[in-house]
Amino acid sequence: MGPLAAIRIRQIAFIPATMLSLTYWYTALGLWCTAGIIWLTLYTHFLITYVQPVVVLWISTLLLGLGYGAITCLSRFGTVVAMLIYIAIITLTGVSLAYLFSGGATIFVIVGIMFSLNALFIFYLNISSGLFRPLIFMAVSGIIAAIVVNSLVASSTLVWIVSVLTVLVWTLITALEKSTLHGYARMLYHSEFSSLSRCALFGALTLYLGIINAVVTLCRYIILMILEILLSFRP
């Protein structure tokens, strides 16, 4: 192995701090936009007046399908297509949650604050390697943000519980998607068609869609388990 190859391997052994920070900023922006759509939908009473529950069910199904499909072939998309998919998923998520859970806006604001604090933490301290220290900071900052925001807006007990659980789940998803983010870092170094903003956008979409992917995977396992139970009763 030559010296240049060794240098390249060392380059992709970690995620550049600038890329990871920008990924977290894009994720936070998407979460805040989702919260804005939830608030706007509730404020205008659009869903309550014009939309039937079956329509929201179809929107939620479309969201799950689009999210799962996007995350499986994300690297094939260009920057513009990925941005349009991000906007579509943000819009569908906001509209669905406005009807299903009105406290979703508060929760998405909290998680957005968590990612923005981590973006600042990584950028100014230039921390891109390691796993436990950044993730511990992510979980702690998210819980502190949940305490502060929920106290300011006098959230219900349910919103308190769901916000803390969402912070912990999204922190876990970030840890599980670390290898995927490493893959985007390799794209940044190896592909002449990949820019920092494109790789960061892919990373943000991966983190945003992590919840959707987890829900789809869970639903698939539940359906398979139910089918196995039903088939076991067949003679």
Q: What is the pLDDT of residues 157-181, one digit of tens each?
A: 888 998 998 899 888 888 887 777 7
Average pLDDT, the chain: 76
Kindly state the tokens that stand for 158. Answer: 């349910």
**In which band, very low, low, confident or very high, does the pLDDT at 1 lie, cut at 50, 70 and 90?**
very low
What pLDDT, in 10s, does the model give residues 82-110? 888 888 888 888 887 887 777 888 999 99
What pLDDT, in 10s, does the model give residues 47-71? 556 666 666 666 667 666 666 666 6
CA dihedral sign of residues 133, 189, 124, 180: negative
- d(CA 202, CA 196) in angstroms, rounded, equals 10
The structural domain count of the chain equals 1
pLDDT of the residue at 109: 94
Task: Report if residue 154 sits inside a domain.
Answer: yes
Task: Report if residue 101 sits inside a domain.
Answer: yes
Task: Report if residue 132 sits inside a domain.
Answer: yes
Task: Report if residue 176 sits inside a domain.
Answer: yes
- The domain of 179 spans 16-232
Using CB atoms within 10 Å of the CB of residue 130, give its burial: 0 to 12 exposed, 13 to 18 middle, 19+ buried: exposed
